[in-house]
Amino acid sequence: MPDNLKSQAITQGTARSPNRAMLRALGFTDEDFTKPIVGLANGYSTITPCNMGINKLALRAEAALRNAAAMPQMFGTITISDGISMGTEGMKYSLVSREVIADSIETACTGQSMDGVLAIGGCDKNMPGAMIAIARMNIPAIFVYGGTIKPGHYNGRDLTVVSSFEAVGQYSAGKIDKEELLEIERNACPGAGSCGGMFTANTMSSAIEAMGLSLPYSSTMAAEDEEKANSAEKSAFVLVDAIRKQLLPRQILTRKAFENAISVIMAVGGSTNAVLHMMAIAYSAGVELCLDDFETIRARVPVICDLKPSGKYVATDLHKAGGIPQVMKMLLAHNLLHGDALTITGQTVAEVLADIPETPRLDQDVIRPWDNPMYAEGHLAILRGNLATEGAVAKITGVKKPIITGRARVFDSEEACLKAILTGQIVAGDVIVIRYEGPKGGPGMREMLAPTSAIIGAGLGDSVGLITDGRFSGGTYGMVVGHVAPEAFVGGAIALVRENDTITIDAPARALNLHVSEEELAIRRAQWLPPKPRYTTGILAKYARLVSSSSFGAVTDLNFG
């Protein structure tokens, strides 16, 4: 089988002389037309610190591809900074960017008949976007994470960007002064790399490593360290070998690979967004995966890593303690990982982990011993009830009151809710409802880091509940429930909640219920009118028309076949 299985469509034969003429302008010579053409999807931008260090990695990978006798073709992919757009109208474009990234990589690689792709990304949606495209195209591929940011420091403590969000709430509650707020702002983000805790970016990089489409240890490396550039270079050589062997993504992205990834997500205390993204990637890979699968795995996998947002450490600490391979080996030793799953290296998971000890080192406490976990069961729970008949997602570990029954405080936008929190209108015992922020209603399913951080900063994290048909940042913690489906915009029960209704969030029972009779709900439903779309042109309008329920991963091509 030729190495240029796809690209020979544009490089071989008399009729392709004009095609070759254009490729010669790019530096191709006579000897290069039989080499594999490899796309290098470069997520570099100066929009966000998550991506500003990526070009260095892309150039190392480009040189390595040439040294491996492949012909690299670099192209750009976009990003949206979740942290910078947070709390603004711009956050509506965040989840949408996942689809734009996937579509752009598919368009470039398939349109140009590429034989493989090396994708490099940093901010949250870069990773699922790239993985969706990789699963769709099914050409040899590898993902390179741009790397995590190092922690900031102030007053003897490690900082992340979430520290700054929480400081806003602390300042509004009179707990810190303006000078301290400014110092936290100045020190929270010291350089290049994705947000430092086990937030969405590091959760997804860890999941991709667990699935076998990134190299071991690569998911927790710091963006600015030389080992990250070395890993990008090595990834290029591994990819060219996979092209020659025709090792395809769908041979790696099996049901076992997804179960492995979910087990790792639970073990490290990962982001709720992983639920949304893993289902979307699985859909593109043709693998059946549903919300109940997360609940099944949650019940058997303990949280063994003490990581922010609710824990103590950041991703660079996890890396020093042994990284994702150490976590995976512990899971494998306790029969919670499929050791026979294949990886991009050509080895199985068990072979990759063969030399790693089954127990973590004693000189660290980032990764806990198996018999002393942070929590005996996983933290991402699927809640159901009359408020979420299709399901909702919550982090249920680390909260002092796992059951909250309180009066509903209803807001039809994130901005209205944040204003109420910062002006002291929310009190202990309230259950906040933020609606019309779902995939269709937002549109774009905004993250709610600003209000959740304000709640924590105000000291209400253990006494106030929050539910939404939107999403949460990976930096969110507390008694919060997101991804409520059906969403308000399509007439889900969350649209029928009224101020001062009673709502119960019951984490142990995985239940989310509105204490209103079915008869009263029927009356309210008959009176409810669908809102007009907030956007009628442009990408948000197109997205709102195409996007599925969050319970299916908020994909935009559901049931097209």
Nearest to 120 by CA among 108, 105, 136: 105
Which residues lie below 8 Å from residue 283, measured CB to CB, with a gap of 6+? 289, 552, 553, 555, 558
Which residues lie below 8 Å from residue 536, measured CB to CB, with a gap of 6+? none
Which residues lie below 8 Å from residue 446, measured CB to CB, with a gap of 6+? 91, 92, 94, 414, 437, 470, 471
d(CA 422, CA 409): 14
Asked if 473 is an active-site residue, the reply is: yes
Catalytic, out of 94, 473, 549, 551: 473
Q: Which amino acid is at 122?
A: G
Residue 219 contacts residue 203 (beta carbons within 8 Å)? no
d(CA 66, CA 79): 27
How far lies 544's CA from each of 95, 158, 469, 472, 534, in Å? Answer: 11, 39, 14, 19, 9
At CA 379, angle to CA 374 and CA 381, rounded to 5?
160
Q: Which amino acid is at 507?
A: A
Residue 462 contacts residue 480 (beta carbons within 8 Å)? no
Residue 166 contacts residue 180 (beta carbons within 8 Å)? no
Total H helices, total E strands in the chain: 21, 14
Q: How many Cβ atoms from other residues are within 10 Å of residue 383's Cβ? A: 25
Give the active site residues: 473
